[in-house]
Structure 1
Amino acid sequence: MTTAQNRFVANLPPEHQEMYALIHPLPDAAYTMDCAIASIEKTLATIERDCTDTPSGCFELEPDFQRGHVWSQAQQVAYVEAIFRKTAPNRIMFNCPGWTRESTTAGDINDNEFQCIDGLQRLTACRKFMAGEFAVFGKYKAQDLKGTPFDPRRFTLQFCIYEFNSRADLLNHYLRINAGGSVHTPEELDRVRALLALVA
């Protein structure tokens, strides 16, 4: 939790503090910004330069707790198509202690250590699309959409930057956002497609 969230919880009645401890809502990001998918490479390059120019800084999109690149190209295409349809989740979570201010408490993650917490698959899909590695909707590459209503400069990812300076806090955050969900199997999606075919 952030210092402000700790103060908020400390001022709650005891029964609400207990409720807060049980539910344990995710903290707010220290900083958020919208990044046009056309500007991802430039933005990441600037962040990498700024972080690695400091003695203890680093830039890791695939830290050791990430599962690596697991989406197939078909999944990447589907995600980018969903961005243009405005149906895709667009949040990418990063951690970088010291992003908005120097850390005031000691931790085992140094200031300016920039790591991707969540959204690596989404980020990678957008980067590959912008690099021209695949087309969407069966024919459109990124450069084909420039100057159209679907210009990649008009569609954004939201970069949410947290400032966990404790690896334990960071890993607990990662587990809370990634545990408990179930990915739809191809069979489950096919079943819904079959239901759709009945009403179409």
Structure 2
Amino acid sequence: MARTAPDMSFETAAQARGLARVAGVDEVGRGPLAGPVTAAAVILHADRIPDGLNDSKALTEKRRAALYDIILRDAEVSIAHATVEEIDSLNILRASHLAMERAVAGLPLPPDHLLIDGNMIPRGLTQSAEAIVKGDARSLSISAASIVAKVCRDRLMVGLAQQFPGYGWEKNAGYPSPAHKEALQNLGVTPHHRRSFKPVHNILYQGKTVTP
């Protein structure tokens, strides 16, 4: 089956029901062993929709960066995080939902309707909302949110990599690449590692930590 590009059909359907301000919401960073989980909420304006929006994973790094700047210029955007400490105390699913809730709350004006990537609506979101499985490849607003969240988080991990070199975060964004897991064994656990994730927990059990 041919893959179709995301469009505005979910947005226009909501607007036809009188829900004028529709925000796409997505998060990135559930799988990494280190760093926060990051979410974005984006309201696109019909007369200024950037060309080439798609699921962030389907775009090159250069294209994502270019679209990131355009989205920040032409749309209403909010970015939020949940910390490593929150991930460890709550669990990664709840922390990712918390980041989404914060992103929605940070929009300049409240949205009337939310398009949430995935199959669950975070419980802290009280406004009209729908969950859309693979929404980043189906809704342009969610595509925009996925791009913003990924570029923001990737850049954050590049910054953390300068503080804690050797783990390859500037390339792997904290995901469990072979080089990252080898560095965990050799260098130990940093304050930015998720202690509730099994590969990190197992090394902590061996007693290897890195102080800032």
- TM-score class normalised by the smaller sequence: under 0.3
Q: Which has the higher Rg, Structure 1 or Structure 2?
A: 1
Question: Normalising by structure 2, what TM-score?
Answer: 0.26
Question: Normalising by structure 1, what TM-score?
Answer: 0.27
